[in-house]
Amino acid sequence: VFERNLELEGLELEHELGEPSGLRFTKIHAPREVLRRYSEILKLRLPMKDLEVPVSSTNRSNMIIQEVNGWIRRLMKRFYVDETIFPTMKHRFTAVYSRDKEYLFDLDAPEFFSPATHSRIVQFIIDRTKFVDNKEDDFAFGIDRLISEHAYVAAYPLHD
């Protein structure tokens, strides 16, 4: 019942036979649509698209500022760390995700949903999924209760 309810939430389950003793591993995969839906529910902050800034026309004052910046950059280069060892981090703006404002977010980026976000969303779902059809049992939900009742041996966070 628990696994069926997980599938109803949109998660994909993969079963692997682990040992001859009958131990079975269940891997849970979260499709992008589930991640998007629960990102909105959890009000997660996700990276936005990079803004395209139009290049301003070059005038005399801009050229002077660029020359001074270049001169300072060359002077300070001795004090900066080696970028081959410590690459500069790209800063991105984030905002609370909303499906109404999807056009602001770079959904196609492979790093849009980090592994930590995946884990957090799947953990949120498995902590709140009911494992009985009986509507009267208000406390029949969550993987922790299933582990305490020995239906599952353990639950580990997602990892790649």
Total number of domains constituting the chain: 1
Do the Cβ atoms of 106 and 47 come closer than 8 Å? yes
- Domain range for 35 is 2-49+63-148
pTM comes to 0.73
Q: Is 155 inside a domain boundary?
A: no
Q: Is 82 inside a domain boundary?
A: yes
Q: Is 19 inside a domain boundary?
A: yes
pLDDT per position as a tens digit, 76-130: 888 888 888 888 877 788 899 999 999 999 888 878 898 899 999 999 999 988 8
For residue 90, give the nearest of 74, 70, 111, 113 by alpha carbon.
111
Of all residues in the chain, what percent carry a pLDDT higher than 70?
94
